[in-house]
Amino acid sequence: MHGPGLRTLAPAKINLALHVTGRRTDGYHLIDTLVTFAEAGDALELKPAVLDSFTVSGRYGGDVPIDGDNLVLKARDLLRRRFGVVATRPVSIRLVKNLPVASGIGGGSSDAAALLRGLDAMLGIDAGPEALGRIGLELGADLPMCVAGQPLTARGIGDETDPVAPWPQLPIVLANPGVAVATPDVFAQLTRRDGTALPPLPERRDVAAVLAWLAATRNDLEPPAIALAPAISEALAALDANGARFSRMSGSGATCFGVFETMAAADTAARAIGAAQPGWFVAATQTRGTTP
Ligand code: ATP
C-alpha cells in the first residue's frame, strides 16, 4: 500500500592518498586526495510508512546518536527542506551500523549520502547525484564524494571532486585498533600544512602501477594521528606482517587499509588479524573500480 522500499549500502570511504596542501583563512584545511569506496559498509533500509521512524542496530549501533543529531536524520530533514511536499512523505529508516564511528572511513557522511540517494530514488524526487552532492555539502565537505561513491580525486576542502576512470578494484583489509580519533584533534597536531599536491595519476592503471604510484604519495594525517593514538602503528604492522603489499591509514584514522594480491589472501589475513585482536574492527573487502 505504501510502495516498495529499498536496501542500500553506505560504503566505507577509503582515502588511498591524502595530502594536506594548505589552510584557508577560516581555518578549513585544503586537501588533495584520491578516494575509493569499499564493498563493506553500513546498510540502510528505507520504506514508505504511515509514520516516520528510525532504528539503529549493528556492532557499532550503540556509538551513534539515535535522535536528530544522527547524520541520516539530518540528511532526511535537509531533503525535506529542499524539496517540500514530495520529500515529506513519512518513511521508516533502519540503519545497520557495521563501521566503527569516527574512524576515518566516512561512516556518517556515507550514511547521509546513502539516505539522500535512496530517498531521491524511492520518493521519485530525481534530483540526481550532482545536485544531491551540492545539497549535502551543508552536512559536511565529504558529502559530494560519498554521494558519487566512485573512485575520484577531491581537492579544496574535499568538496571539489573529479571522477577517476579507469581505476582497478583492489582487494583490501580494513583494520581499526578500536580507538576513536576526532578529526579536529588530528588536524590540530599537524606540523606541516604546505604539503605538495598529489603527483599526476599513473598512465597505466593496473594494480602494480597503482601500487607504485601510492608509494610515491602520503597520508599527511597519519603521523599526527599516530602521535595521538599509537595503536594505529600496530594496525599497520599487523597488515604488513600478514602479507599486505601496501598499507596506510585512511582519512584522519584510526582505520588502516592493506592492499593484498588476491581476495583469498585478504580473507586469510583478515581472519588472522581478527583472531589475534578480537577487539579490533577487521574486514576483508574489495574497493570499487571504474572502467574507462
Ligand atoms: P571521516 O572519514 O569523514 O573523517 P569519520 O569516520 O572520522 O569520518 P564518522 O564515522 O562520520 O567519522 O563520525 C563522526 C561523528 O559523527 C561521530 O562523532 C558521530 O557521533 C557522529 N554521527 C552522527 N551520525 C552518524 C552516523 N550515522 N554514523 C556515524 N557517525 C555519526
Q: Write down the pLDDT at residue 292.
A: 84
Is 64 a pocket residue for ligand 1 (Cβ < 6 Å)?
yes
Low-confidence ranges of the chain (pLDDT < 50): 1
User: Is there a catalytic annotation at residue 142?
Assistant: yes
Positive or negative, the Cα torsion across 183, 56, 46, 90? negative
- Ligand 1 atom 14, closest CA: 102
Is 72 a pocket residue for ligand 1 (Cβ < 6 Å)?
yes
How close is the Cα of 183 to the center of ligand 1, in Å? 10
112 CA: nearest ligand 1 atom = 27
User: Is there a catalytic annotation at residue 97?
Assistant: no
Q: Write down the pLDDT at residue 191.
A: 82
Tell me whether residue 57 is annotated as binding: no
How close is the Cα of 106 to the center of ligand 1, in Å? 6
Among 42, 142, 159, 220, which one carries the catalytic annotation? 142
Q: Which domains does the chain have, with CATH numbers?
A: 6-163 (3.30.230.10), 171-286 (3.30.70.890)
pLDDT digits (tens, 9 = 90+) for 210-237: 999 999 999 999 999 999 999 999 999 9
pLDDT digits (tens, 9 = 90+) for 134-149: 999 999 999 999 999 9
**Long-range contacts, stretch 49-52, CB < 8 angstroms, 24+ apart:** 49/2, 49/90, 49/91, 49/92, 50/2, 50/90, 51/90, 52/90, 52/91, 52/92, 52/93
What is the rounded distance in angstroms from the CA atom of residue 168 to the CA atom of residue 186? 30
Is 107 a pocket residue for ligand 1 (Cβ < 6 Å)?
yes
What is the rounded distance in angstroms from the CA atom of residue 207 to the CA atom of residue 274? 26
Q: Write down the pLDDT at residue 2.
A: 56
142 CA: nearest ligand 1 atom = 3
What is the rounded distance in angstroms from the CA atom of residue 33 to the CA atom of residue 37? 13
Tell me whether residue 100 is annotated as binding: yes
- Ligand 1 atom 27, closest CA: 108
Find the helix or strand (DSSP H, E) in which 53 lies: strand 53-57
Q: Write down the pLDDT at residue 3.
A: 64
How close is the Cα of 205 to the center of ligand 1, in Å? 32
Q: Write down the pLDDT at residue 1.
A: 42
Q: CA torsion, points 89, 109, 147, 20, in degrees to nearest 10?
A: 160
pTM of the model: 0.96
